Structure 1
Amino acid sequence: MSAVVQGWTIVTQTRQQVAPNHMQGVFLATCGERWMVGRQYDGKKGTTGFSKDGEWWHARYFDGDTGTDNMLAALDAYPDAAMKAAVWDRMFHQDATESVCRFLAGGEEDGRPKLSAGWKQTEVLSGVPVTSSTIPMPFHEAKYELLWFIIWSTRLSAKVHLTKGVTMSRHEAVTLVRQATGPIRFEMGYNTYWLAQEEDSTNAL
């Protein structure tokens, strides 16, 4: 279960020794539709980076129109905070995104079907359409994979801003996946996405 500080659920955090017996750290947290990038207090090895009351050093808050926009903005700001705290590495952004997708997908649910997750270019003017899909897997894992496609793999290539009002927005897509209880299929930007049962997965392509 994720830790909660001052009402904020910590989705991911990094705390490392940056000098002999000296620790620095950052964390990414959410509260409802709001997201935050926080800087922990500097401290000695063994400290958590939070005060006894759960306070942190300072933070940037993201509370715009949609939770998805806030989440994406926080994800983009998180590596910069890590660089300033000297805890960044080249996989930092990708690892943080993975943590966010797993948080949004939720935990395992009994009685849910195994599904495959996938996406493809909806329209291709020439050549072979780009597509990617998984094998059937536990429900929450399939949701994670689909969220990964939406938030990481196709964040730029889907060109959602060019189809505003025509297809789902990214926020609507993320919300649909989070609330899904079975197979789904939808268009977002220039791509089609799905969660499909095994017998339907070949038809999804």
Structure 2
Amino acid sequence: MAEADTHSQEQCRARTEDGERCSRPAQDDGFCYQHDESDPTVSDSQTAEAEEQADEQGESDDVEQPRSRGTTTMTAEEKTDPDAVDADVDAEEEIAGILAVRETVQSTAGQLIGHEFDGVSEISPTDEGWRAVVEVVERRAVPDTQDIIGRYEIELDPSATVHGYRRVDRYRRGDTAQFE
């Protein structure tokens, strides 16, 4: 039983990149397999303080706070730099915009162009809104590798309303040479 207590307290003395103490078990020299004496270390007084804080938290926080799926702890940069957090929000808004454009394009491309919708090749933001490149089947053939596919560029405003389209090119479905 005493052996289990000593093994649970033997923790690597090195600091990780974010300044926290390494959580790996220590070897005979006091460091884990990844660290050695050349790494910055946690002093004995810091170790004692950390253990006291952990004990206090263990006594006061009997119930673990629930975390929602997909949440992560903030990095030191995110805690001090609000722009780092805002960048994630902007990315989520852009993804939502792309999804809205994709839904609009998928539901209207066949009617708009007058041929059977085959797929969306590209969606990208522009100064005026969005640009989507879609593929439609202009002529069916047997075997289907001989289908004639048309690539069309569709222009949309920021709210995903279609403003126009044009054919960019045509190719046989089985002809991949031009894309290599």
- Going by fraction, where is helix more abundant, 1 or 2? 2
Choose 1 or 2 for highest CA Rg. 2
Tell me if TM exceeds 0.5: no
> TM-score range with shorter-chain normalisation?
under 0.3
- TM normalised by structure 1 equals 0.25
**TM-score normalised by structure 2 residue count:** 0.28
